[in-house]
Amino acid sequence: MTRRDPHLSSNDDQTDRESGVATKTRPRTQRPPLYKVLLLNDDYTPMEFVVHILERFFGMTHAQAFELMLVVHKKGVAVVGVFSHEVAETKVAQVMDFARRHQHPLQCTMEKE
């Protein structure tokens, strides 16, 4: 079939049926929102416990974990990772549960990026 008459042709190439002008609708893939996981300083949780948490739940080397622990200690708070909502929630729960089981007051929260 020829494509001369826009009223008769199929519209697979998104040709405007009235004008014959080719149009394009850009497929928009939505990225899911990301969440920052924050670790908060306190006066009681031992430094080595925080370092252990960062190694265990956030996959950091000892050196990375120690460095970031010191940032939290000095500045009061730091982002320890950015994740999907579900993963961020799991990380926060793991940290809070581990801290509670060891009776440390360590606080971990999440917020939308």
Q: Which residues bind ligand TYC (CB under 6 A)?
A: 39-43, 45-47, 50, 69, 72-73, 106
Which of 6/52 has CB closer to ligand TYC?
A: 52
Determine contact, residues 68/78, Cβ cutoff 8 Å: yes
The distance of closest approach from Cβ of residue 81 to ligand TYC in the complex, given in angstroms and rounded to an integer, is 14
Helices (H), 1-113: 47-58, 62-75, 85-101
Report the residue number, 31 or 75, with the smaller CB distance to ligand TYC.
Answer: 75
Smaller CB separation from ligand TYC, 51 or 83: 51
Strand order in the sheet with 77-83: 77-83, 35-40, 107-112
> Between residues 39 and 88, which has the closer beta carbon with respect to ligand TYC?
39
To the nearest whole angstrom, how small is the minimum distance from the Cβ of residue 86 to ligand TYC? 23
Cβ(109)–Cβ(40) below 8 Å:
yes
- For the bound state, the minimum distance from the C-beta of residue 91 to ligand TYC, rounded and expressed in Å, comes to 14
Decide if 39 contacts 76 (C-beta within 8 A). Answer: no
Sign, CA torsion 55/59/61/66:
negative
- In whole angstroms, how close is the CB of 27 to ligand TYC at the nearest point? 43
